[in-house]
Amino acid sequence: MKQALKDARLAGWHLRETAGHGYGRAFCRRVERGGAVCKIIIDTTPRNPEARAKDLVRAIRDCPHHFADLTVDLSYADNLLSGADRLLDAAEYFLDAEEARSIAGDAWQRAQELLDTAAGNADEVARVMATAQEFDDEARHLTEKGWIRGAESGIPDGAPHTYVAGAEQRTDEATSLVAEAIDHEDPIVGTLRERLSDTRTRIADVRLRLGHGTP
C-alpha cells in the first residue's frame, strides 16, 4: 500500500487524512477545482492490503480527470512564462534606456565644452550634438517600449526591480506546475522545462545588470 500511495502522489493525487481506522481518502484532483472527482478510501488495517493497493493503482490508471487538469495547468504555466518574458523585456528596455540617456548626457556635455572653449569647429559640434540627440531619442523610444511591455503583463510600474520580481514570481509558480507533471506524456512538458531554464538564466542576467547577485 505504501508504494501505491507513493505512486498516487507522483500521479498528482492528493491524500486527506481522517480519524479512526480510515487513514484517509485519496482524490484525483483538488476538490476546490470543482467538477467530478475520483476518490478512494484508504484504510490503515485493511483485510486485504494487496487488493486495496491494486484498487488504488487501478483508480489512478482509469481516472479521466487528473491529466485534464494537468493540461490546463501546463497551459497556464506556459502563459506564466510568457508573462515573465514580457516583464524581463520591460526591465531590459528600461535598463537600455538608462544606458542611452547616460551616453546622451555625456555627448551633450562634450558639445557644451566644445562650444564654451571653441576647441572644435562647427562641424565637430554639430556631429556631437547629433549623437546626443540620437541617444536621447533612443532612450525615449526604449522607455516607451518598456512601459508598454510591462503593462501587457499587468505591471505598469516602470521600475526594473519590480518587473524582475514579477518575472521571478511567475517563474516560480510555473516551476511548481511543471513539477506536478513529472509523468505527464504531453511533449509540452519538455518544452516548458527548457523555457524555465532559459527564463531563470535571463532573470539572473538582468539582476546582474541591476547590481544584485550573479548568474
Degrees to nearest 5, angle at CA 131 with 129 and 137? 100
**Blockwise average pLDDT, block size 10, the chain, 215 residues:** 70 65 66 63 63 76 66 83 95 95 94 78 87 94 93 84 94 88 71 94 94 52
Q: Which amino acid would we find at residue 136?
A: D
Contact present, 93 and 142 (Cβ < 8 Å): yes
Which pLDDT score, from 0 to 100, does residue 73 have?
Answer: 77
Q: In this predicted structure, what is the pLDDT of residue 213?
A: 44
DSSP string, the chain: -HHHHHHHHHTT-EEEE-STTEEEEEESS-GGG-S---EEEEESS-SSHHHHHHHHHHHHHH-SSHHHHHHHHHHHHHHHHHHHHHHHHHHHHHHHHHHHHHHHHHHHHHHHHHHHHT-S-HHHHHHHHHHHHHHHHHHHHHHHHHHHHHHHTT-TT--HHHHHHHHHHHHHHHHHHHHTTTT---THHHHHHHHHHHHHHHHHHHHHHHTS---
Full-model pTM: 0.64
- The pLDDT value given to residue 161: 92
Residues 6+ apart with CB under 8 A from 105: 132
Residue 201, number of CB atoms within 10 A of its CB:
11
Q: What is the pLDDT of residue 140?
A: 95
CA–CA separation, 185 and 175 (whole Å):
17
